[in-house]
C-alpha cells in the first residue's frame, strides 16, 4: 500500500559509534533515515520541517521529477535552502523508476548522516524481470567521522586542504564487528537455505567508491539506479557514491555464518584503507555450530583498477524493460575534461594546505563552478540577470595528453564561473567525460539530475574522437544516473533532453563537488503546454 504523505522532521539526535557519542542531523531522529516505498507511477508529498540549526535541502537521487525541478533539492541550483524553523513541501513523481534509489541532503556535507532508501516497486500486476525474491534486505553503505562532519567540511574549505578521511565505513549506519565498540550493533540478517534475497544496495558514502562481496556466495546484479539490467553474476561488486543496485543473493551454501564486507576502491590516494573494512553478518537458520569467527570474503585490492573496470564495463542494460531507447542521431556533442586542480593561495595568505601551499579545486572543462547566491532555477524562471552565464563549453579548452604521468599544472588553472549549458527541448546529447591527471588521476562518479543516461562507452587514456565511437554499445548499454569515469580514462553517455528545467550535474565524491566539479543543464520548454516546466509551488524557500 502506497502512503502518499510523509513527514520528514530534520533534527539533531545523539548517536554513538566507535566508542564515542555525538549529535548528528537526522530525519525523524533516525539514522539512516526513513525508507520510502512506492509503486512506479505514484506521486508522493514529503513535508520537510527544518528543526535543526543548519540550512538544509533534500534531494531525491534518481527521481526524474518530470517538468518539476522545483522540489529536486540541490541548494542554490533549484532552490534556496530551507532555513531553521521553516517548512517545504516536496513533490516526488515516480514515472520512470523501478528498483532501488535513495534520498539525501544536498547542502554542504549534511548528507553524511541525512540519507535513506527509496524502493520503487513495479506498477501493480507487473512482474520483475527476475523470479520474485523471498525477502528484501537493506544494504546502505556510508561513512562515519568521529568529529562533527560540518567541522571537517568547514576546515577543508577554509584551509584549502583535503578534508580528513572518515573513521569508518558503515553498513546501515554500523561500522561492523571489526571496529571498536561495534560488535553488538553490527547489522545481521537471517537467511533460510535455498531462498533468494533481494539486496537493496546503496552507496551513500561521501568520498569512497566501494568494492563489496559476500564470502562464498555470488551476487547477481539485476538493476542499477532503478533501471533493470541483464543479470550480471560476480563474486564482488563495485559501486560508487550515488549509485544504487538491486542484487540477488542465493542462500545456497552450507548453513553457517558469512560476512558481507566492503572496503574502499581508492585510486588516487596511493594508500590502502584496510582499516575501513566494514562488515555485516549473514546467518543461516538451522541447527549447527557456527565457527567462532566467519571468514572474510576476498575483496579486490584498494587500487585494483582492473577489477573495477571488469565489473563496470560488463554491466548491460535490459532493452526490453528500458524506459527509453538509445539515441543515435546526436544533435549536441560535448566533450568535457574533469580534473582535480589547484589554485594559488589567496592574496595575503600563506596558510593554504593544498599541494605546495595552494588550495584544492576541481573543474569541468577547466571551469570550477561558483555557487550563486540565489538559485539558478529561480533566476531562469523569473529572468533575473547576473546570476549565471550560459555557454558551458562544448569542447575542451585545449587538447593535450590528459592522462600522461606529469602534466604542467599551469596549462590547467581553472577559472571560477557559474556557467551553464542550455539545451533545446528534444536535443539528443552525447557527453564524453575525459579524466585528467592534472593533480593526480582518480575515478570520478558523475551524476546528472533529472535524467538517466545510456553509458555507451568507457576507455582508458585519451578519448579518440575518430576511433572510440566505432565501439560504442548502442544495443544494451546500462541506463544509469551516475557513471564511474575510470581513472585516467573516459566515459561517454547519451540522453534525450525531454525533461525541461534546471538540472545539476556533478561528481558524487563530495570533496570534488565542494571543490567545483559541477555544472548545470538548462533544458528549454517544448512547444506544447504538456512539455513545459511546471510553475513553482507556493512555499518555495526564500533566499
Gap between the Cα atoms of 449 and 79, Å rounded: 14
Strand-pair category, 367-369 with 415-417: parallel
Question: Which does residue 74 touch among ligand C2O, Cu ion, none (CB within 5 to 8 A, set by kind)?
Answer: ligand C2O
Residues 499-518 that bind ligand C2O (CB under 6 A): 504, 506, 508
User: CB under 5 to 8 A by kind: which of Cu ion, ligand C2O, none does 507 bind?
Assistant: Cu ion
Residue 444 binds to Cu ion (criterion: CB under 5 A): yes
Position 106 contacts ligand C2O (CB under 6 A)? yes
Half-sphere exposure in the Cβ direction for 333 (13 Å, CA): 7
Q: Tell me if 243 sits within 8 A of 443, measured CB to CB.
A: no
Q: Does 67 bind ligand C2O (CB under 6 A)?
A: no
- In angstroms, rounded to a whole number, what is the distance separating the alpha carbons of residues 209 and 411? 29
- Per DSSP, the three-state class of 118 is strand
Output the smallest distance, CB 250 to ligand C2O, in A.
Answer: 30
- Comparison of 413 and 473: residue with beta carbon closer to Cu ion: 413
Measured from the CB of residue 497, what is the shortest distance to ligand C2O in angstroms? 18
CB closer to ligand C2O out of 200 and 217:
200
Nearer to Cu ion, 168 or 483 (CB): 483
C-alpha cell at 540: 518555495
Cell of 60: 531525491
**Looking at beta carbons only, is 102 or 128 nearer to ligand C2O?**
102
Residue 504 binding: pick among ligand C2O, Cu ion, none (C-beta 5-8 Å cut-off by kind)? ligand C2O
Q: Does residue 444 interact with ligand C2O by CB under 6 A?
A: no
Q: Which residues contact 414 (CB under 8 A, 6 or more apart)?
A: 339, 341, 343, 361, 362, 363, 366, 367, 368, 516
d(CA 192, CA 274): 31
Using the minimum distance from each CB to Cu ion, give the nearer residue, 172 or 243. Answer: 243
Q: Which is nearer to ligand C2O, 302 or 504 (CB)?
A: 504
Per rule CB under 5 A, count of chain residues that contact Cu ion: 4
For 363, the 3-state DSSP assignment is strand
How many Å apart are CA 220 and CA 198, to the nearest integer? 10
| Stretch near Cu ion under the rule CB under 5 A, chosen from 59-67, 246-254, 353-361, 441-449 | 441-449
Judged by beta carbon distances under 5 to 8 A according to partner kind, the member of ligand C2O, Cu ion, none in contact with residue 58 is none
Of 519-538, binders to ligand C2O (CB under 6 A) are none
The torsion defined by the Cα of 482, 518, 210 and 164, in degrees rounded to 10, comes to -160
The closest residue (CB) to ligand C2O is: 61
Residue 447 touches which of ligand C2O, Cu ion, none (Cβ within 5-8 Å per kind): ligand C2O
Residue among 507, 522, 523, 533 that touches Cu ion (CB under 5 A): 507
Cα pseudo-dihedral 83, 29, 262, 215, rounded to 10: -160
Chain residues 303-322 in contact with ligand C2O, contact rule CB under 6 A: none
Which of ligand C2O, Cu ion, none sits in contact with 52, Cβ below 5 to 8 A by type? none
Cβ proximity of 207 and 232 under 8 Å:
no
User: How far, rounded to the nearest angstrom, does the alpha carbon of residue 504 sit from its chain's CA centroid?
Assistant: 12
Interface residue with Cu ion among 169, 509, 522, 523 (CB under 5 A) is: 509
Q: 360 contacts which partner out of ligand C2O, Cu ion, none, CB within 5 to 8 A by kind?
A: none
The interface partner of residue 509, options being ligand C2O, Cu ion, none and the CB cut-off 5 to 8 Å by kind, is Cu ion
> In terms of Cα–Cα distance, which of 354, 343, 371, 440 is closest to 156?
354
Cα 495 to its chain centre, rounded Å, is: 18
Dist. CA 327–CA 330, nearest whole Å: 7
**By rule CB under 6 A, what string of x and - marks binding of each residue 192-231 to ligand C2O?**
----------------------------------------
Per-residue cell: 129: 524481470
The option from ligand C2O, Cu ion, none interacting with 444 (CB < 5 to 8 A, set by class) reads Cu ion
Is 82 or 487 the residue whose CB approaches Cu ion more closely?
Answer: 487
Q: Is 449 in the site for ligand C2O (CB under 6 A)?
A: yes
Could you give the C-alpha distances from 265 to 47, 115, 268, 443, in angstroms and in order? 37, 22, 10, 9
Instruction: Select 277 or 513, whichever has its Cβ closest to ligand C2O.
Output: 513
Q: How far is the CB of 435 from Cu ion (least distance, A)?
A: 9
Distance CA 269, CA 324 (A): 37
What is the x/- site pattern for ligand C2O, positions 27-66, by CB under 6 A? --------------------------------x-x-----
Single out the residue of 74, 256, 435, 500 in contact with ligand C2O (rule: CB under 6 A): 74
Q: Which is nearer to ligand C2O, 238 or 251 (CB)?
A: 238
- Round to whole Å and give the CA distance between 104 and 205: 11
Residue 237 binds Cu ion, judged by CB under 5 A = no
- Looking at 164-292, which runs of residues are DSSP E strands? 168-171, 188-191, 196-203, 209-214, 219-224, 227-234, 237-239, 244-250, 257-265, 278-284
- Binding window for Cu ion (CB under 5 A); candidates: 111-119, 175-183, 444-452, 473-481: 444-452
For the chain, the straight-line distance linking the first and the last C-alpha, in angstroms and rounded, comes to 37
For position 242 contacting ligand C2O by CB under 6 A, the verdict is yes
Phi-psi region of 173 (alpha: psi -120 to 50; beta: other; left: phi over 0): left
Cα separation, 316 vs 484, in Å, equals 14
Contacts with ligand C2O, residue ranges (CB under 6 A) = 59, 61, 74, 104, 106, 242, 447, 449, 504, 506, 508
Contacts with Cu ion, residue ranges (CB under 5 A) = 444, 507, 509, 512
Amino acid at each position: 500500500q502506497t502512503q502518499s504523505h510523509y513527514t520528514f522532521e530534520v533534527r539533531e539526535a545523539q548517536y554513538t559509534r566507535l566508542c564515542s557519542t555525538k549529535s548528528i542531523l537526522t530525519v525523524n531522529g533516525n539514522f539512516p533515515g526513513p525508507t520510502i516505498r512506492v509503486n512506479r507511477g505514484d506521486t508522493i508529498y514529503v513535508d520537510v520541517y527544518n528543526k535543526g540549526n543548519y540550512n538544509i535541502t533534500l534531494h531525491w537521487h534518481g527521481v526524474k521529477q518530470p517538468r518539476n525541478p522545483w522540489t529536486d533539492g540541490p541548494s542554490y541550483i533549484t532552490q534556496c535552502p530551507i532555513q531553521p524553523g521553516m517548512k517545504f513541501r516536496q513533490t516526488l513523481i515516480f514515472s520512470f523508476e523501478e528498483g532501488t534509489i535513495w534520498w539525501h541532503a544536498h547542502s554542504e556535507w549534511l548528507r553524511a548522516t541525512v540519507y535513506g532508501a527509496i524502493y520503487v516497486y513495479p506498477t501493480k500486476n507487473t512482474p520483475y524481470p527476475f523470479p520474485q525474491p523471498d525477502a528484501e534486505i537493506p544494504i546502505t553503505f556510508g561513512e562515519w567521522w568521529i568529529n562533527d562532519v560540518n567541522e571537517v567540511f568547514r576546515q577543508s574549505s577554509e584551509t584549502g586542504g583535503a578534508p580528513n578521511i572518515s573513521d569508518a565505513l558503515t553498513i546501515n549506519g554500523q561500522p561492523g564487528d571489526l571496529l571498536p565498540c561495534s560488535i553488538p550493533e553490527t547489522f545481521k540478517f537471517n537467511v533460510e537455505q535455498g531462498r533468494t534475497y533481494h539486496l537493496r544496495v546503496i552507496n551513500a558514502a561521501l568520498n569512497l567508491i566501494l568494492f563489496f562481496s559476500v564470502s562464498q556466495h555470488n551476487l547477481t546484479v539485476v538493476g542499477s539506479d532503478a533501471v533493470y539490467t541483464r543479470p550480471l553474476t560476480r563474486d564482488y561488486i563495485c559501486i560508487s557514491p550515488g549509485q544504487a543496485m538491486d542484487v540477488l543473493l542465493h542462500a545456497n551454501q552450507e548453513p553457517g555464518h558469512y560476512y558481507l564486507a566492503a572496503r574502499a576502491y581508492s585510486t588516487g590516494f596511493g594508500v590502502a584503507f584496510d582499516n575501513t573494512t566494514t562488515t555485516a553478518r549473514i546467518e543461516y537458520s538451522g541447527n549447527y555450530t557456527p565457527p567462532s569467527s566467519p571468514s572474510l570474503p576476498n575483496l579486490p585490492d584498494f587500487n585494483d583498477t582492473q577489477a573495477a573496470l571488469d565489473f563496470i564495463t560488463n554491466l548491460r542494460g535490459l532493452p526490453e524493460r528500458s524506459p527509453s531507447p538509445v539515441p543515435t542521431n546526436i544533435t549536441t556533442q560535448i566533450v568535457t575534461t574533469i580534473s582535480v586542480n589547484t589554485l594559488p593561495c589567496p592574496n595575503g595568505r600563506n596558510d593554504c594546505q593544498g599541494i605546495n601551499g595552494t588550495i584544492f579545486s576541481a573543474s569541468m572543462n577547466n571551469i570550477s563552478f561558483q555557487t550563486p547566491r540565489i538559485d539558478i532555477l529561480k533566476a531562469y524562471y523569473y529572468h533575473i540577470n547576473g546570476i549565471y552565464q550560459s555557454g558551458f563549453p562544448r569542447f575542451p579548452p585545449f587538447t593535450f595528453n590528459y592522462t600522461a604521468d606529469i602534466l604542467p599544472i599551469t596549462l590547467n588553472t581553472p577559472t571560477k564561473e557559474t556557467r551553464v549549458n542550455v539545451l533545446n527541448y528534444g536535443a539528443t546529447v552525447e557527453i564524453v567525460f575525459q579524466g585528467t591527471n592534472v593533480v593526480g588521476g582518480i575515478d570520478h562518479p558523475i551524476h546528472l539530475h533529472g535524467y538517466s543516461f545510456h553509458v555507451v562507452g568507457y576507455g582508458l587514456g585519451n578519448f579518440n574522437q575518430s576511433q572510440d565511437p566505432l565501439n560504442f554499445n548502442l544495443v544494451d548499454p546500462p541506463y544509469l544516473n551516475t557513471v564511474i569515469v575510470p581513472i585516467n580514462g573516459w566515459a561517454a553517455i547519451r540522453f534525450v533532453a525531454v525533461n525541461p528545467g534546471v538540472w545539476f550535474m556533478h561528481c558524487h565524491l563530495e570533496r570534488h563537488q565542494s571543490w567545483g566539479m559541477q555544472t548545470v543543464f538548462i533544458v528549454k520548454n517544448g512547444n506544447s503546454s504538456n512539455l513545459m516546466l511546471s510553475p513553482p509551488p507556493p512555499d518555495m524557500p526564500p533566499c
